[in-house]
Amino acid sequence: MRAGTRRRLIRLAYVVAFGTLIGAAYGTVLHLIVYGIPPLGALIGGVHAVLLSVTLGWLEIFGVRTRLGRAVEQAPFLVTLALKAAVYGSMIAVVNIYEPGTRLVGVPVGGGSSQIVGLIFSFLVTAVFIFVLQISQIIGGRTLRDWVLGRYHRPRQEERFFLFVDLAGSTALAERLGPARVHHFLNRIFLLASDPVDDHHGEIYQYIGDEIVVTWTESEGRCGARPLSCFFDIERTLESAARGFVRDFGVVPRVRGAVHVGPVIVGEVGGSKRDIVFHGDVLNTTSRLEQLAREWERPLVASAAALERCRDTEAYVLEDLGSQVLRGRASPMLVYAVARNGRV
């Protein structure tokens, strides 16, 4: 099973588990008030919640990856919202009107106010679920979690890995394709790169032009040399999609990257628009390393500091590029080119 599929199945399991708990709690309260039978209410509510959370969760986690799902997601926001409301609302109505959980336990199917309350509750819970999911896709799941928990309300220092991934030859490509087609070209690259980033537990910090900035805390990144393996998985993913890129854009995308590690200050900034940002020399240094990868014509370069803190680097071929004085830095830095499959 692919890592991405496994990750999405785990996410679906969390959705189903959380939905079942909410449904069981709601069923307990409702049936205690209406029938005085809380155990059966928990079972009925749990059955209804499983049916809805499995179906809606699958559509949101797996369905969006189908051709039809991508078309819905890429439609204007109001169209997407209307289609989801119609489909999900129909499913909720069927479950609440037919009441399969009530029939399963042999309790007479209720009507009137209890069904209306159940329908309203299901709509509210589903609306909250969809809203949170859509917001997390816009700002990132980890960023949403950190905002909710107030983790960076006060600035704090962290040791972090940064991976910069840049599209090679983007200037000439932009001149040939034009702005609109370049946007579609980059968007496809970013969509394909998101799975390797998620598979390696990375966090996409920013999209800057044709560049992706990915970050890990030191403890998360050192395991399995995740910044290195993430870059090469992005490279492999784009290579496997080469035929489609040639058909649609007449070119196969090539990426290069740089990896560095160091201290950053992380905190919330802004007023009417707030964001969680990183400040530190490690970002500038990683950008300079990426320029070095362009100059040396290497797919990936990494600082010696980053490689020293990574585990399992034996899987890669390292080429010593010597001590390099990077632009804007007074002291030299030991740099390596990193390759996979014996290719430097």
Sorted by where each begins, the domain ranges of the chain are: 3-139, 153-339
Q: Give residue 325's pLDDT.
A: 80
Q: How far apart are CA 119 and CA 204, in angstroms?
A: 38
Question: pLDDT tens digits for 43-83?
Answer: 888 888 898 889 888 888 888 778 888 788 777 767 877 78
pLDDT at 114: 63
* Per-residue pLDDT, 1: 62
- pLDDT for 6 equals 80
Q: Which residue has the tokens 């992706």?
A: 212
- Largest Cα separation within the chain, whole Å, is 80
Homologous superfamily of 153-339 in CATH? Answer: Nucleotide cyclase, GGDEF domain (3.30.70.1230)
Per-residue pLDDT of the chain (344 residues; tens, 9 = 90+): 666 778 788 888 988 998 889 888 878 887 777 666 667 778 888 888 898 889 888 888 888 778 888 788 777 767 877 788 778 878 888 887 788 877 787 766 655 566 677 677 777 777 777 777 667 666 666 677 777 777 777 888 999 999 999 998 887 887 888 888 889 899 999 989 998 998 999 999 999 989 999 999 999 999 999 999 999 999 999 999 999 999 999 988 999 999 999 999 998 887 777 778 899 999 999 999 999 999 999 999 999 999 999 988 888 999 999 988 887 777 888 999 999 865 44
Q: How far is residue 96's CA from residue 312's CA, in Å, rounded to a whole number?
A: 52
